[in-house]
């Protein structure tokens, strides 16, 4: 009788203990995942600040170089470029002020850096104004000023900020790992309270986490790629072109932008239907991708409009070679739902820096060249320089 009573007491106690353990695990998991998410956000914020500081450093070097170029040639256009670059530096400082407004030590470093930069560019501005009003001789005869020392001080301050941010980033990454480790310890410490139940919860959490990661990955892919063809969309094209232009400026490479649309696509779409038209677009995308190098970009902007960005060119003629190859590949017959169809394409080509030094200018001039090619009879390419 006593044994039965003890059993009846032990079973509820065990159930309550298991329930408490499960609730404890759930609370611990919720707390740790929440803290890990916060740590992840802090890691991202630190990475963004480091990137902003590096952009600021590059823009200061660009402004310094532009000012020196103006002192040499005195061209008003160069002076205007210098003014714009100084404006970009001020914008970066505004971004940094917003990013570090709640971080006392970093805010102080930023204020000190702003003071150094203000003194440096006040001296540069005075020198630029002297060059603009009195000429090169006035600059040569004037005081040299603490230019080198100022730039060294600015560079040192920036490196100190980056070092501090990297230290914070490393600590936050370590904190994220500690939270993950704490979750694992919590899970194993209560496993004895109910191995089967805990295993179910752990598996559920693991699936939930993987589903979230998969959903975020899929959302990121959809945000940067065309849903029909899987090619990069305008957003991803802009990002890659910005990187290619920056590299081209630094290393003196040529960048080519090719705009193309399909000649005869509407006829095929109307004849065979929209499903066949979608399949045709996917086949065109596949042929274009096969015709390009791995580091080139082919994007679909919508409808039957595509853009190709060719990076790291040392020879302008490569762009026309690719255009001829594209025209040949696209013009080959297609098998659509057991029926043969034929289309063509026209291509407009713009080259950096000859036809523009921004994404907008290159795309605009390539599009203008495209219409020139279509007006000339389609199934051919045209260069922006020749079309202007």
Extract the runs of DSSP E, i.e. beta strands, from the chain: 254-263, 297-302, 305-313, 334-336, 339-341, 344-352, 381-383
Buried b (16+ CB within 10 A) or exposed e, 47-57: eebbebbebbb
d(C-alpha 154, C-alpha 140), whole Å: 24
Read off φ and ψ for residue 232, nearest 5 degrees.
Answer: -55, 145
Q: How far does Cα 314 stand from its chain's mean position?
A: 25
Read off φ and ψ for residue 273, nearest 5 degrees.
Answer: 100, 165
In angstroms, the Cα distances linking 154 to 56, 97, 107, 148, 160 are 11, 17, 16, 10, 10
* Residue 368 contacts residue 384 (beta carbons within 8 Å): yes
Place of tokens 């260069």: 383
d(C-alpha 272, C-alpha 137), whole Å: 74
The token pair at 49 is 């600040």
Q: What positions carry a catalytic annotation?
A: 304
Place of tokens 């850096």: 113
CA-CA-CA-CA torsion sign (335, 337, 341, 344): negative
Taking each helix axis as running N to C, give the angle between helix 2-73 and helix 104-134, from 0 to 180 degrees, rounded to the nearest 10: 10
């Amino acid at each position: 009788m006593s044994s039965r009573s003890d059993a009846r007491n032990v079973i509820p106690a065990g159930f309550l203990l298991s329930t408490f353990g499960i609730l404890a695990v759930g609370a611990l998991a919720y707390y740790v995942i929440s803290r890990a998410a916060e740590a992840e956000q802090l890691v991202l914020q630190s990475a963004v600040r480091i990137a902003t500081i590096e952009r600021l450093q590059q823009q200061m070097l660009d402004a310094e170089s532009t000012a020196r170029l103006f002192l040499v040639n005195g061209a008003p256009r160069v002076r205007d470029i210098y003014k714009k670059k100084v404006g970009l530096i001020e914008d970066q400082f505004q971004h940094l002020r917003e990013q570090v407004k709640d971080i006392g030590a970093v805010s102080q470093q930023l204020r000190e850096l702003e003071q150094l930069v203000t003194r440096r560019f006040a001296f540069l501005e005075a020198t630029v104004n002297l060059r603009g009003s009195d000429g090169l001789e006035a600059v040569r005869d004037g005081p040299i000023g603490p230019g080198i020392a100022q730039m060294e001080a600015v560079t040192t301050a920036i490196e100190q900020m980056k070092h501090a941010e990297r230290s914070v980033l490393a600590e936050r990454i370590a904190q994220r790992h500690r939270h993950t480790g704490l979750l694992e310890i919590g899970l194993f410490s209560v496993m004895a309270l109910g191995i089967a139940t805990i295993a179910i919860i752990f598996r559920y959490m693991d699936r939930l986490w993987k589903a979230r990661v998969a959903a975020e990955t899929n959302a990121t892919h959809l945000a940067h790629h065309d849903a029909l063809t899987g090619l990069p969309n305008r957003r991803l094209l802009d990002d890659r072109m910005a990187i290619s232009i920056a590299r081209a400026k630094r290393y003196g490479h040529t960048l080519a932008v090719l705009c193309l649309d399909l000649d005869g696509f509407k006829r095929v779409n109307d004849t065979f239907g929209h499903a066949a038209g979608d399949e045709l677009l996917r086949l065109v995308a596949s042929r274009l991708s096969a015709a390009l190098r791995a580091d080139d970009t082919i994007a679909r902007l919508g409808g039957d409009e595509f853009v190709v960005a060719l990076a790291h060119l040392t020879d302008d003629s490569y762009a026309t070679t690719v255009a001829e190859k594209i025209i040949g590949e696209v013009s080959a017959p297609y098998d659509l739902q057991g029926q043969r169809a034929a289309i063509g394409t026209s291509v407009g080509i713009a080259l950096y820096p000859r036809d523009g030094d921004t994404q907008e200018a290159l795309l605009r001039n390539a599009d203008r060249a495209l219409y020139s090619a279509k007006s000339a009879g389609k199934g051919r390419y045209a260069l922006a320089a020749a079309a202007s």
